[in-house]
Chains A and B, each alone.
Chain A
Amino acid sequence: MKKLLQRIPDALLRILVVFAVIVGSILSIRYIIPAPLKDAQVHIKSTVDREMSRAIRYAGSDVCASCHDEYNIKKGGYHRNLSCETCHGAAKEHTENPTETKPRLSRMREFCSGCHTYNPSRPTGFPQINPVAHNPLKPCVVCHNPHDPKPPRVPQECQACHAEIARTKSVSPHVLLECTTCHNVPQGHKLAPRVTRATIPSERKFCGKCHDSDSNVKDTPKIDLATHGEKYLCWQCHYPHMPEVE
C-alpha cells in the first residue's frame, strides 16, 4: 500500500485530495443536508403541507344535522347560533364512528353557569343568573331545555317586552320590587307602547322614600337628599336596574 502511494507522483496525489474534498462536499450538500434546509420554497411547502395534514377534532355543526333532529329544534330557539360542539365538545371522532365514540354531555350546573353566571363584564342584557339564589343545586336541564332554552313560564306583563331589563334587575338589589312600584303603567301602554308611555320617577322625593336619611325603611343605603346630587334626578346617575347600582 505504501509502495503504491510512493509510486504515484506527489503532485497527482495532492490533486486527488483536493478533488476528493470537492466531490465530498458536493455530495454532502446534495444528499446529506435535507432539502428544506437548502431551498426556502421547499421548506415553506413542507411546513404548509404538515400544517394542512394535521388532524381535525371539531367536525363543524353542519354534519350533526344529517343524523340529529335536535338540530332543527335548536334552529328556532335562543341557542340557534351556537354550534353543537360548543356544549358537546369536539365530535369529529363521533362523526366517523357514531356508535363507539360519543360526544360529551354536560348536565352539570357548572357547565351552564360558565356562560350564564352573572359577571359585570358581560354585555348588558345577556341572560345571567346568580347561581346561589337561582334554584341552588337543581340541574339547569330540569327547567330549561338546552336545545330550546327559555324561561319555564312564559314571561308575563312587563318582561315579555322588557326582557333585558328583567334579566339585569333579577340579579340587582331591586330584585324584589315590582316594576309598578316605580313605573306607572297606563293601560294604553300595552296596546300602543310608543304612543302611551310608562312613567319614570320624576321627583327625587320618590327615591327618597327608601333612600333619604329620614326614611324608616330598613337596610337601604341612605343619603341626605338636601345636600346630595344637586339638580339631578336620582336615576340620571344611579341606574336602578343594574346590579352595581350604588
Chain B
Amino acid sequence: MERRGFLKKCFSFIVSGSVVGGFLRRASARTEGYDPSKHYYGMGIQIEKCIGCGRCVEACKEENDVPKEPFFFRTWVERYVIKKDSEVSVQNIDTRIERTVEPAIEKDVLRSFFVPKLCNQCENPPCVQVCPVGATFKTKDGVILVDENRCIGCRYCIQACPYGARYLHPEKETADKCTFCYHRITRGLLPACVEVCPTQARVFGDVRSSASPLARFRRMNKLHVLKPFLNTEPKVSYSGLDGEVR
C-alpha cells in the first residue's frame, strides 16, 4: 500500500469513528423527559411545627422497603428533653410504642421538642470520599445515591457520616440511605415523608427556584444546619433549631 493511501484511510477511519461514537453517546444521554441539570434539591424542616407523630418514619419505610425493625431508618425523629439541671436526653421516637403510652407529663422539663432527621445530602459529602469502591456519588441534581450492585458492605461510609444517616441493609448487606425519594421527585411527586407530614414541618423543593414553598421557607425563617463546623454544607436546613441538638 502506498504511504499516501494508508494515511488517507487512517484519517477517514478516525473522523468517521468519532462521528459515530458521538452519535452513540448523545443517544445514550437522552432520558425520558427529566433533566437532572435543571434541578437542585433541598429540604427545610420547621422544628416548631413537628409534633413527633412519626408518620414520616412509617411512610419512608413503606415507600422505600426499609426493614420495619426500629434500628433501620432512612429518616427518624428524635425527642429532645432538656431538664432544669440542663441535662439533655435524646430519644428516638419508636412509632410502635408511642401509640399506646399514656401522656408523658414530666417534671423538671425546661424545654422539649422533636427533631426530624434524615440524610443532609451534603454539598461536600464525607461518605462519598471514603467509599473504597466508588459505589456512592452525588448526582447532578444534588442527591447522594448508593449503587447497591457495587457496594461491598464495608461500612466505611456509615462510620464517616457525621449525622448517622446511613445503615447497613440487613437483607441486601449494602449501605442504604435517604435518596429524597429519588424515584418520586424525578416524576414530580414529593418525597413520602413530606407528603404525609400532617403539620407541614417538612418542606421540599428546588434550592435554586425563586418561588416555591422551599424558597419561601428559606426567606422567612432564621435557618441553621446540623454541625456547620464540619463544612459538609448540608442541603437540609432547620428553623427553630436548638443549640443542644447534635
Contacts and interface: CB of A to CB of B under 8 A. Distances in A.
A113 B99 contact: yes
A118 B109 CA distance: 15
B54 A51 contact: no
Nearest to B110: A244
B79 interface: yes
23 contacts: A43-B147, A44-B139, A46-B147, A52-B34, A57-B62, A58-B62, A58-B63, A81-B199, A85-B196, A86-B55, A89-B62, A114-B54, A114-B98, A115-B51, A119-B104, A120-B104, A120-B105, A121-B52, A121-B79, A121-B112, A171-B103, A244-B106, A244-B109
Contact of B114 (A44, A79, A86, A121): A121
A61 B192 CA distance: 11
Contacts of B53: 114-115
- Interface core residue of A40, A48, A81, A82 (most chain B CB under 10 Å): A48
Nearest to B32: A52
B189 A122 contact: no
Interface in A19-52: 36-37, 40, 43-49, 51-52
Interface residues of A, number: 49
Contact of B103 (A51, A52, A83, A117): A117
A13 B54 CA distance: 72
A132 B105 CA distance: 13
A58 B102 contact: no
B173 interface: no
Contact of B189 (A40, A56, A90): A56
Interface stretch (A4-12, A123-131, A153-161): A123-131
B122 interface: no
A81 B139 contact: no
B187 interface: yes
Interface residues of B, number: 56
Contact of A123 (B49, B99, B149): B49
Interface stretch (B152-160, B162-170, B176-184, B230-238): B176-184
A58 B192 contact: yes
B139 A121 contact: no
Contacts of A47: 137, 145-147, 149
Nearest to B196: A86
B67 interface: no
A52 B192 contact: no
A51 B63 contact: no
A243 interface: yes
Given A56-B183, A86-B196, 13 more contacts: A51-B179, A52-B183, A52-B186, A58-B192, A82-B198, A119-B51, A119-B104, A120-B105, A120-B112, A121-B79, A126-B199, A132-B103, A243-B105
Nearest to A45: B28
A246 interface: yes
A83 B195 contact: yes
A45 B147 CA distance: 10
